[in-house]
Amino acid sequence: MTGTPSVAARDDLAGVVDLFEWLTRAELSRALSELAFKQRAEVDDEAIAAAIDVAVAEYALVPAPPAALSEAGVGGDRATDPADPAGGTDGTDADAVALAVGPAAFPSLPADAEDLPHILDVPERDVDRETLSEAVLERLSADAVAAIEAGDAERLEILADVTYDIEAWASVDAGAIRERIVAELDG
């Protein structure tokens, strides 16, 4: 895992997360390390972290708010701030940020991933999609405002695509966000 992650790599990350409904960044990193070991490949922790960062930035993976998470019947016990998708800058531990499959993902399983539920000691989990989709829509709006204020046309192009993805992924309306992005790009 070196260089900029490909779309397929981001979808593979989403596929691994999808096996468990949600994983913390640390659990996802461990899963990827286990896969590398099974495939007799070297583990590059920095490349793994970079791939996760790209997947989060491009909405293939999304930070899940504690209220959207359940673990073996216990809900909302993970520290995650959807406004701080990388984690850590607001005092939360970046490795504890829970990630779920996002609207821009087409989850796929990398080779040997089907063995991960037997390798990782992760309890049964669930994600409340309605709560998750509301948090993702809020993050999308905040990201759009930040990109507009920064004059970041490249980021706005990505976010415009995400406004369509999120509407196909969940019962939300991102039309107002999309209109603001398009107006900025056309302006």
Q: Is 83 helix (H, G, I), strand (E, B) or coil?
A: coil
Q: Is 126 helix (H, G, I), strand (E, B) or coil?
A: strand
Concatenating the DSSP letter of every residue in 32-50 gives HHHHHHHTT----HHHHHH
Cα–Cα distance measured from residue 103 to residue 115, given in angstroms and rounded to the nearest whole number:
25
85 shares its domain with 142: no
Domain extent at residue 153: 128-187
Q: Is the dihedral of CA 58, 141, 143, 82 positive or negative?
A: negative
Q: What is the pLDDT of residue 56?
A: 97
Q: What is the pLDDT of residue 6?
A: 61
Q: What is the pLDDT of residue 7?
A: 62
Helices (H), 3-152: 7-20, 25-38, 45-57, 116-119, 129-150
Q: What is the pLDDT of residue 8?
A: 64
Whole-structure pTM over 0.75, yes or no?
yes
Q: What is the pLDDT of residue 72?
A: 66
Cα–Cα distance measured from residue 179 to residue 181, given in angstroms and rounded to the nearest whole number:
5
Of 127, 154, 177, the last residue of a domain is: 127
- Per residue of the chain (187 residues), what is the pLDDT tens digit? 445 556 668 999 999 999 999 999 999 999 999 998 888 888 888 989 999 999 999 999 999 999 999 986 444 444 334 444 444 444 457 788 999 999 999 999 998 899 999 999 899 999 999 999 999 999 999 999 999 999 999 999 999 999 999 999 999 999 999 999 999 999 8
53 shares its domain with 134: no
100 shares its domain with 136: no
Domain total for the chain? 2
Cα–Cα distance measured from residue 6 to residue 13, given in angstroms and rounded to the nearest whole number:
11
117 shares its domain with 135: no
